[in-house]
Amino acid sequence: MNPEALLSVARQAAEAGAAELVKKYRGSFQINTKSNEADYVTDADLASETAVREVLSRLRPNDTVTGEEYDDTHGENSAVYWSIDPLDGTVNFARGLPNWAVSVGAKDLKTGEWVAGVVYSPMLGVTYYAHKDGGAFAEREGKSTQLTGPIERSTKIVATGFSYSPEDRVRQFARLTELMPNFVDVRRIGAASLDMCMVAEGMVDVYFEVGIKEWDWAGAMVIAEEAGLKVIRPAFAGDLGVVARDLSLFI
């Protein structure tokens, strides 16, 4: 089980999923809802996850795969677990906004460590990627730049997101209000994986969100950690997920 080799598989899988999304972006696609009327799923989400799973099935047929839209698949003697968000930022995609991505993360089942991650945003023209002990990078137009997270600034920006549940949103806004004395501004990108990668690239200083799902952070967490950031993973719905260099901002 080689993290660099898994990263290569993750990149191929993310690119296959993104190719399906690009075909439908700002074109014709079907929108349905899941948990409530604001929680979109499109036929593009489904096509993307199918394409990602096909690559994983071909290149890593014995692995376990989970994703946002389809049931888990379990390989025989599985050594690696994959977590897929085939379209992070579905609402952005459906409204014609460019902030969306395909996220693929790989975990070593023997150690329990997440070891490779890719977040590919074709409309933003960037692929974020990392494998364990290999550093984190952003690739644009074929050129890769190593990521080292935010530098120290006197003015800090926090990125966050909000639940589809009205009750959860009230709690999220309350928490954000408590935090804002530590920050000069807030950004709402609309895709958790991109939020985390933007901290890794130093575009924003901190990302936090309450109650995000595993596939939201699986790929981006490897990127953030390899960029030297501290990541507090949500252990259950309603827990606090934080990506930052300086956790004192949350005390």
The enclosing H or E element of 137 equals strand 136-140
What is the per-residue pLDDT for 153? 85
Q: How far apart are CA 240 and CA 236, in angstroms?
A: 9
CATH 3.30.540.10: which residues of the chain? 3-146
Beta bridge partners of 108: 80, 113
Tell me the mean pLDDT per 10 residues along the chain, length 251.
95 98 89 66 90 97 90 82 96 95 97 97 98 98 96 90 86 88 94 96 91 90 95 62 80 60
What is the per-residue pLDDT for 151? 87
CATH 3.40.190.80: which residues of the chain? 157-250
Structure tokens at 86: 């085939």
Q: Please answer whether residues 78 and 57 qualify as being in contact, where contact means their C-beta atoms are separated by less than 8 angstroms.
A: no
- Count of Cβ atoms closer than 10 Å to residue 6 Cβ: 26
Is the pTM of the predicted complex or chain greater than 0.85?
yes
What is the per-residue pLDDT for 105? 97
**Residue 65 DSSP SS3:** strand
Q: What architecture does CATH give domain 157-250?
A: 3-Layer(aba) Sandwich (3.40)
What is the per-residue pLDDT for 85? 96
For domain 3-146, say whether CATH 3.30.540.10 is its number.
Answer: yes
